[in-house]
């Protein structure tokens, strides 16, 4: 970040801001790449619960539209669909772990709605 300080000292504030924006893009891309590798490693270790926990953590760090419960539900549908389509038992185990997490997080009437949504999965 010495470059940012140098640019600011030269009065190049817009270039300094652009430099920071570019650094943030690289960091975000690296973060996503590491996340994908972590999920791959969870698959190698056959640890569906670790993958589900990692997905939840990743979702919490992302901007969520509709809340965590809906985001987890969308993820479990993705994992289940991939598992069914490609015959990947690990993906089905991740979907099940996500469903359990979502159900355990639900409160009151949400538990029933969560259970109904699970039963309606393709």
pLDDT digits (tens, 9 = 90+) for 67-80: 888 899 889 999 99
Instruction: Please report the pLDDT score of residue 111 as a whole number.
Output: 62
Q: What is the C-alpha separation between 38 and 94, in angstroms, rounded?
A: 14
95, 98, 102, 105 alpha-carbon torsion, rounded to 10°: 160
CB hemisphere CA count around 57 (13 angstroms): 11
Instruction: Please report the pLDDT score of residue 95 as a whole number.
Output: 94
Instruction: Please report the pLDDT score of residue 121 as a whole number.
Output: 53
* Contact by Cβ (8 Å): 76, 98: yes
pLDDT digits (tens, 9 = 90+) for 12-62: 999 999 999 999 999 999 999 999 999 999 999 999 999 999 999 999 988
Instruction: Please report the pLDDT score of residue 115 as a whole number.
Output: 56
Please say if the pLDDT value at position 119 is more than 60: no
Q: What is the pTM of this model?
A: 0.79
């Amino acid at each position: 970040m010495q470059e940012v300080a140098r640019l600011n000292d030269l009065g190049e504030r817009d270039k300094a801001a652009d430099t920071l924006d570019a650094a943030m893009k690289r960091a975000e891309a690296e973060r996503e790449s590491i996340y994908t590798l972590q999920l791959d490693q969870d698959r190698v270790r056959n640890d569906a619960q670790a993958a589900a926990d990692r997905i939840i953590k990743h979702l919490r760090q992302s901007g969520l539209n509709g809340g965590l419960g809906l985001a987890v539900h969308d993820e479990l549908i993705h994992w289940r669909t991939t598992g069914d389509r490609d015959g990947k038992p690990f993906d089905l185990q991740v979907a099940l772990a996500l469903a359990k997490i979502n159900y355990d997080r639900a409160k009151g009437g949400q538990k029933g709605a969560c259970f109904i949504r699970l039963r309606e999965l393709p």
